[in-house]
Chains A and B, each alone.
Chain A
Amino acid sequence: MTKQSKLALGIDIGSTTAKIVVVEDGTIRFEKYQRHFSQVRQKTLELLAEAVGVVGERPFTAAISGSAGLGLAESAGVPFVQEVFATGEVVRRMEPDASAVIELGGEDAKIIFFDGGIDERMNGTCAGGTGAFIDQMAMLLNVTADELDELSLKSTRLYPIASRCGVFAKTDIQPLLNQGANHADVAASIYQAVVNQTIAGLAQGRRIRGKVLFLGGPLYYCKGLRIRFQETLKLTDEEAVFPEYGRFAVAMGAALYGENAGGTYTMDALRRKIETSPAVRSGENLLPPLFASEEDYAAFRARHAGSDVPRRDIADYSGGAWLGIDCGSTTTKVALLGEGRELLYTYYSSNRGNPVEIVREQLEHIYGLCAGRITIRGSAVTGYGEELIRAAFGVDKGVVETIAHYTAAKHFCPEVDFILDIGGQDIKCFKILNGAIDSIMLNEACSSGCGSFIETFAKSMGCDVAEFARKGLHAAAPVNLGSRCTVFMNSSVKQSQKDGATVEDISAGLSVSVVKNAIYKVIRAGSAGELGEHVVVQGGTFYNDAVLRAFEMELGREVIRPAIAGLMGAYGAALYAMDLEKSALVSPEALRGFTHTAKAAVCQGCTNHCRLTVNSFGGGKKYISGNQCQKGLGLANAQELPSLYAWKREALMGLRPGPDIRGTIGLPLALGMYELLPLWHALFTSLGFKAEVSGLSTRRIYEKGQFSIPSDTACYPAKIMHGHMEVLLERGVDAIFYPSLTYNVDERGGDNHYNCPVVAYYAELLRGNMDDLEQTRFLSPFLNINEPRELSRELYACLSPVFPDITKKEVKKAVEAAFVAYEAHMLAVRKQGEEAVAWAREHGKRIMILAGRPYHIDPEIGHGIDKLAASLGFVVVSEDSICHLADPAPVHVLNQWTYHARLYRAARFACENPDVQLVQLVSFGCGVDAITTDEVRRILEEAGKLYTQIKIDEITNLGAVKIRLRSLIGALEEKGV
C-alpha cells in the first residue's frame, strides 16, 4: 500500500474575489480564482465543487482566510487564519530570502517586512479599496481592467495624481479626462497613484529594498502596475519578484495553516458544513424602508410628476432656437429651446472619457434635425468642460454652473429659496434671498463623487443605474453605510454584503448615504427650517427616486424635483443664451472638418513647470489646460495684481544666507517655519551660521520623503516636511533646526496662543521616523518664543553642547536680533496688506482674503490657488496681513490657537468691508479646521457675506477650485457687489 499523501485545502475569500487551492505534499494540485460578487457562501461552494475532481473522497485538512471569509469560517466552524499572517507563513517557506512582501487586494493593501524584525502592516482607513479603485478608474475611462493595463503600457509621461485615497485620485483624474489628456498617460498615472499610496501609507520609515515579492490579484494581472512599482522602488529585475502563485499566496497560507489547525474533512462534510452554516446578519445598523407600501410610492410618483416643462416635437418646429450645453465631470447634457422656451431636444449621456467627441456628435445630430427650418441664435456652455467646449466649437457664452442652475430653477419655481444639485462629482447647494444667491455651499474633496459612485456601483453589480435605483425603492431594511466618503461607503457596502444584505437594501442604503452626505457635510443643516420653504432639487442623481425619497425623509419636507432634473444645467445655459440674436457657433460645414488632438506639454514659464494639456481643434484653434497661472497661455503680460502670497514668498526667499563662520544650519521650510523663518534666519545669521533654507516645496520634494511618513492621514503640509528634511540632508548641513513650539507667538487675539499638535511636535515624529537624521545633528528644542530671556536660556542649553564655543552673550544678542527681524517682517507684511487693499480700492478691484495658515503660501501646498484668484481679477491678501485691521471679536469657540485667532479676525475684517471676500483654505486632515470652518462661516454669514471653503491636499487639479471661485464671482455680480 502506498503511503497516504497529505492533502490540504486553502480558501481565501477577499473583498472581491474568492480563491481556492488544493495542496498535496507541498505541491499545488488545483487552483481557482474568481470574483464572488459578494455571494460569498455560494461562490465558495462552487469552488469546492470544482475541486472535487482532484480531492475525490479523500480526507483533507482545510482553513479559510480573507476579510470576507471570517464570517463564513466562524459560522461554519472551519479554522480561520488572518490573511496577512497567512501570507507571511507562505513566503517564509517559499522564499526564505525575501526581504519584503507587498500584497494588493480588492480593499486592502498589505506589506510585510522580513529583514530587521518582522513587521506586518495593513493600510489605514483612508487608503482603502486598492483593487476596487483600479476597477472604478477603468470604468471612468470606459475600458475594462485589462484594457486599462494595455493602455498604461503605451504611456509617455505621468500626471501627478493625488494618492491619499480613491476619492482624491478620482478628483484629479476626472478633469484630466475632460481636458482631453491622453488615456494611456492617465492609465499609467492611475497605477502610479496606487504605488504612491502604498508606499506613503505602508512603508512608514522602513525602506523597501532587497528582494521584494509582489502578491495579490491586481499585481498579478496588471503589468503596468508592476512596472510602476519596480521603477518607483528602484528594484532590479532580480529583486522584484512577481511569482506565478501571486494570486494564491493567501489561499496557500490557509492550506498550510489548516494542516496544524486540527480538523479533517471530506468534501461532502465540508460542503455540508458551509451549506448549513447559519447566515448571521448583524442587523443592528438598519434603516427604515423608503416606502411603506406600493400606494405610498404611487402617491409620491404622482406628486412629482407635476413638475415638468413644456416640450415640442422638433420635427414640426421652425424658427429660432437656443442651445445649452452642460459639460459636467461625468456626464454631458444638451438642451435646445424654442422661442417659447419649450424643449425641442435634449440629450444626457456619460462622458465616456471624451466629452469633445460627444458634443461634436450632438451638434452634428442637432444640425441634422434643424434641417434648415431652425436657426440656432445663441448658445451657452457650463460645467467643468466649459472652456474646452467653448474653445472647440465657438460656443457664444460660458456660464458658471451655479448661475446656470439657478436660472433653470428660477424658471421652474420663481419663489425658489434653496437649490440642491447632486451631480456626478459635485454637490452644490445655494440659498436664494431676494432674488440673488445668498450663500453657496459646495462639497469639499472628501464628499466628491457621490453621484457617480452609485452609478459605478450599479454597473459593478451588473445593472444600470435606473434599474439599481428601482431595486432600492422597496427595500425592506436599507443598510446604514455611513456618510464620510465613497471609500468608506464602499468598504461598508462590502461589510454589509458579507452580512447578507441584498442588492435592494444596499441600493436604498447608498441613496440615504449620499443624501446624508449632502445634508450633514455639505449643507450642514440640522433641520428643514434652515433650508427654506421652496426647495428645488436637481442633478442627474435625483432621477433616482430612492435618493429623492431619502432626501425628503431626512429633511421631513416635500421638495420639488423637475422632470428634467439632470438637464437643469443645460436648460439654464440655454435660457441664459436666450438674449442672443446671432450665434457664432461652429457652422455645420466647419463641423464636418472638425479635428481634435490633445498633446501633453510642460510649461516652462516658471519653476513650477505645470503639466499642460494642449488641445488643438484644427484651424489653429487651441485650448490649453493644466496651467496654474496665465503664463502658460502666453498671456503673461496681463496686469500683475498685488498679491500678498507672492510678496510673502519673495520676502522669505529673499533671505540670503550669511557667511559660514560656525557652520551651516538647515532650516526646513514647512509647517511653522513658514511663520518664523525671518526669526530663526536672523538668529543663526547673528550667531555666525550660514542659514540654509530648504526652499519652496515641489511635488518632487514630497516624493523624496514620502517613504518615512508614519501616519498617512496627517495633513499634506506635515507630510511634505519629510521631503524638506531629505533636501537638507542631501545638502550636508552641519545641523538641522526645527523647534518644538507648544505655544506660538502670543498676539493677544484669543484665549490662548497654541500651535496645533502637528505644527508643535512634528520634530519629535521626524526624529523617530527618519533614520537618516542620524547623519546630522537634528536640533528640535522646546522653546518659549514669547520670553526673550527664557528663549535665550533654552537656546543656549540646546546649542552649547553641539557648538561649545557659543557664549550666552552671543545667544542673547542673537535672540534680540531675531525678534527685531521678525517684528520688521510682520510689520512689512501688515504694511503690504494695507497697501494691497488701498491699491485694489484705487483700481476698483475685488479683494480676496485667501485665509489659511502661513504655510499655505507654499506653491505646492497651495497649488497656485493664489495665482488662479489673481487671474480671476482678485487682489489676494493673506489673513495675517490684514487681521490687525479688525478687532478680535467674540467667537463661539475656544479661541486658543494663534493662527486661528488671525482667521477669525480676518473674517471680521471681511464683514466690515463690502469689497473684501474671504476664501478659506483648509488642508485635508486638519482637525482644527473642523472647528474653525463652522465658526468662520458663522461670522461671515451673520454679516451677510458669502463663505467659500476650499479643501486642499495633494490634489493638483484646479478645476473644482476654479468653479468655486467663479461661483463666488457670479454670486457677487448677481448681488451687485
Chain B
Amino acid sequence: MIDQEKGYVVFTEEMKKTHTILVPNMLPMHFKIIGKVLERSGYKVELLETSGPQIAETGLKYVHNDTCYPAILVIGQFLDALQSGKYDPDKVALILFQTGGGCRASNYIHLLRKALTKAGMGHVPVISLSLAGLEHHPGFRLTVPLLKRMMYGVLYGDLLMTLVNQCKPYEITRGSAQALADRWTERLAQEMTVGGKANYRQVKANYRRMLDDFAKLPVARRDKVMVGIVGEIFVKYSPLGNNNLEQFLVDEGAEVVVPGLLDFCLYCVYNNLLDHKFYGMQKHVQALYQVAYRFLLGKEKDMIDTMEAHGRFTPPTLFTHTISLVQGTISMGVKMGEGWLLTAEMLELADKGVENIVCTQPFGCLPNHICGKGMMKPIKAKNPGINIVAIDYDAGATKVNQENRLKLMLANAKQAAKKPEAVPVPVQEVVFEEKIPQSIQKTARGAAL
C-alpha cells in the first residue's frame, strides 16, 4: 500500500520474489536483452510486446489528453496489459525510466500512478528506474554489476540496430536481416541469464561474431538514399510511437540511420558535468560523473574500433565528435528532453553525409520547439543541402498526413541523389553466394515482417 511518508507504493524486497515486473517496450532488441539482465539479478520480468490502436485508446482514457503522446502510449500499454486479465494485479509491478530533467517526461511515473488509481489499481507498485535517485524502492536496487550488464544490453542493442539498418534495405531474402538480429537477441539474452558469461571480453568477442554473421548475409548493392531519424526518444525508436516509421522508409527505398541509445546515456551523464561548468552545481559528485563518462566513452570507442577493424559496416559517430559538431549552433546548456543532443544528432548525420532527416516529436513536445524545429534554420544555414522534415506524432494525427510529408522529403532526397555531384561512387555489386545457414532460415520464416 501507499507509503505515507513517500506518497507512493513501494516495491518491497518481498515483492522481488512474488511480483512480475512489466517493462514497456521502446526498443525491442535492447529491452529484451536488458530484461534478461534484470532476470539474472533475481527479478521476474516481462517485456510488453503488445501493439494496436487499443493502446492509445486506453491511454487517452486514463491520461490527460494534452499530455505527450509517449506518456499516453506507455501508460496505455501498461493499463491495457493489466486489464487484459493476463496478470494477477496483486502480483505485478511496473517500471519506468525517470531522468529527473526539466521536461514533463519526468512526470510520467506520477501520471502512471494517477492512471492506476483511476483504474482502481492504485496498489500496483511502480518502480522508478533513475540514476538521479528520485525514489527509493528497497526491492529494487541498481547495483554496479547490474548497471554494467544493463549497459552491455544497450551496447549490444545499438550494434544490432545499426547492423540491421545497414542490411535490411539490401537483403536478398526479405526479413533475413531482422531474423538474424532476432536470433542474436535471443542468444545474447540467454547469455545474460544466470550462469551465462557476461564479462566485457565476451562482449567484444560477440561484437566480432555479430559483425561476421551480418557480413555473411546475402545483400544487394548499397545504393539507396540514406535517411536519418532523430527526435524525442520514444517516438524516434518505438514503432508503436511512430507508426512503424523505419519500415515505411525501408519500403520506400531508403536506408535508415538511427543514432544509438548509448548516445542518450552519454548525454545524460555529460549534462551533469555541464551543470558544474555552467552553474557551479553538483561539485561533490563531479569525480563520479567523470569516471562514468570516461567509462561509457571507452565502451563506445571499443565498439566503433571493432567495427572499423572489421571494415564492412559504417560505425556510429564517436560522442566526442558529436559534441564538437554542435558548437556554435545550440548551447549545450539546453538540457531538457533530448536537448542539445537532438541538434547534435542532426549535425552528426549531416557530417556523415546523411543529408535527409526525419525529426520526430510528439505533438506539442516542449523541448523540441527549441532543439528540433527551432534549430532547423541554423542547421540548414550550415548545411545547405540538408533536407529535414519534422513529423508530429499524436493519437489524433493521421497517417496519410505524416506519410505525405515523408514522401516529400523522399522525393527531394531522390532528386538530390540524381544530381551529378551527389552520385555515389559506383560500388561493385556484392552478392554473397553462400547459402543462408539453416538456423537463420528457420527464424526467417518465423519472423513476421
CA distance A285 to B399 in the complex (A): 12
Write out the residue numbers on chain B whose beta carbons fall within 8 Å of the beta carbon of A752: 100, 102
- A488 to chain B: which residues have CB within 8 Å? 394, 396-398
* Selected interface stretch from B150-158, B273-281, B437-445: B273-281
- CB pair A484 B395 closer than 8 Å: yes
A448 at the interface (CB under 8 A from B): no
Chain B contacts of A230 at CB under 8 A?
none
Pairwise interchain contact A754-B279, C-beta atoms closer than 8 A:
no
Known: A516-B60, A718-B369, A740-B333. A70 touches B407 (CB 8 A): yes
By a CB distance below 8 angstroms, the chain B residues around A893 are 107, 110-111, 114
B107 contacts A81, CB within 8 Å?
no
Q: Which residues of B contact A931 (CB under 8 A)?
A: 64, 67, 104, 107, 110-111
Contact partners of B390 in chain A: CB under 8 A:
124
Whether B380 sits at the interface, judged by CB under 8 Å, is yes
Q: Is the CB of A930 within 8 A of B103?
A: no
Q: Are B399 and A495 in contact (CB under 8 A)?
A: yes
Contact with B along A472-495 (1 / 0, CB 8 A): 000000001011110011011011
User: Contacting B118 at CB < 8 Å: which of A125, A526, A713, A767?
Assistant: A526
Bound state CA distance, A480 and B53, in angstroms? 9
Looking at the assembled complex, report how far the CB atom of A107 sits from the nearest CB atom of chain B, in whole angstroms.
8
A residues less than 8 Å from B372 (CB atoms): 711
Quick check: A761 and B334 within 8 Å, CB to CB?
yes
Interface residues of B in 403-433 (CB under 8 A from A): 403-405, 407-408, 410-412, 415
Q: Say which residue of A122, A489, A768 sits within 8 Å of B396 (CB atoms).
A: A489
Cα A492 to Cα B396 with chains together (Å): 8
A760 vs B279: C-alpha distance when bound (angstroms):
14
Given contacts A122-B405, A526-B62, A931-B67, whether A491 and B398 have CB atoms under 8 Å apart is: yes
Closest to A205 in B: B377
CB neighbours of B412 from chain A (8 A): 85, 120
Binary A-proximity of B87-127 (CB < 8 A = 1, otherwise 0) = 00000000000001011101101110111001110000000
Q: A85-B415, A710-B376 are in contact. Are A927 and B280 (CB under 8 A)?
A: no
Q: Which residues of chain B are within 8 angstroms of A82 by Cβ–Cβ distance?
A: 404, 407-408, 410-411
Q: Is A117 an interface residue (CB 8 A)?
A: yes
Closest to B98 in A: A894
Bound-state CA distance A659–B398 (Å) is 57
Q: Mark B314-339, 1 if CB is under 8 A from A, else 0.
A: 00000000000000011101111100
Chain A residues near B52: list those with CB within 8 A. Answer: 284
**CB of A784 within 8 Å of the partner chain:** yes
Which residues of B sit under 8 angstroms from A768, Cβ to Cβ?
Answer: 329-330, 374-375, 377-378
Known: A122-B404, A894-B107. A742 touches B65 (CB 8 A): no
Measured between beta carbons, the chain A residues less than 8 angstroms from B111 are 893, 931
Contact, CB under 8 Å: A120 / B408: yes
Judging by beta carbons under 8 Å apart, are A483 and B60 in contact? yes
> Which chain A residues border B57 with CB–CB below 8 Å?
480
Assess whether B396 is in contact with A484, with CB atoms less than 8 Å apart.
yes
Q: Which of B25-33, B162-170, B290-298, B358-366 contacts A (4 or more CB under 8 A)?
A: B358-366
Chain A residues within 8 Å of chain B by Cβ, number: 83
Instruction: Kindly list chain B residues whose C-beta atoms are within 8 Å of the C-beta of A521.
Output: 65
Mark interface residues in B344-379 (1 if CB within 8 Å of A CB, else 0): 000000000000000000011111111111111110
Distance in Å from the Cβ of A499 to the closest Cβ of chain B? 9
The answer to whether the Cβ of A317 comes within 8 Å of any Cβ in the partner chain is no
Map CB proximity to A onto B42-69 as digits: 1 under 8 Å, 0 otherwise.
0000000000110001001110111110
Q: Is A362 an interface residue (CB 8 A)?
A: no
Does B199 reach chain A (CB closer than 8 Å)?
no
- A64 contacts partner chain B, Cβ-Cβ < 8 Å: no
Once the chains bind, are B378 and A520 in contact (CB under 8 Å)? no
A394 within 8 A of partner (CB)? no
Q: Is the CB of A762 within 8 A of B400?
A: no
Check A743 for interface membership: any CB of B closer than 8 A. Answer: yes
Residues of B within 8 A of A526 (CB): 61-62, 115, 118-119
A206 partner residues in chain B, CB cutoff 8 A: 377
Bound state CA distance, A930 and B64, in angstroms?
6
A173 to chain B, nearest CB (A): 23
Chain B neighbourhood of A647, CB < 8 A: none
Q: What are the residues of chain B within 8 A of A743 when measuring CB–CB?
A: 279
Check if A782 sits within 8 Å of B278, measured CB to CB: yes
Query: Chain A: which residue is nearest B52 at the CB level?
Result: A284
Top 9 A-B residue pairs of the complex, sorted by shortest distance between their CB atoms: A484-B396, A482-B396, A765-B374, A784-B279, A754-B102, A782-B333, A488-B396, A930-B66, A85-B411
Q: A483-B65, A768-B378, A794-B278 are in contact. List 14 more A-B contacts (CB 8 A).
A: A108-B401, A284-B52, A484-B65, A491-B400, A711-B374, A714-B369, A758-B366, A760-B334, A765-B369, A768-B329, A768-B374, A894-B134, A927-B104, A927-B365
In the complex, 21 of the A-B residue pairs with CB atoms within 8 angstroms, ordered by the A residue number, are A117-B380, A122-B408, A125-B363, A483-B395, A488-B398, A524-B64, A527-B118, A713-B369, A754-B336, A756-B102, A768-B329, A782-B331, A787-B279, A892-B7, A892-B110, A892-B114, A894-B100, A894-B109, A931-B64, A933-B64, A934-B114
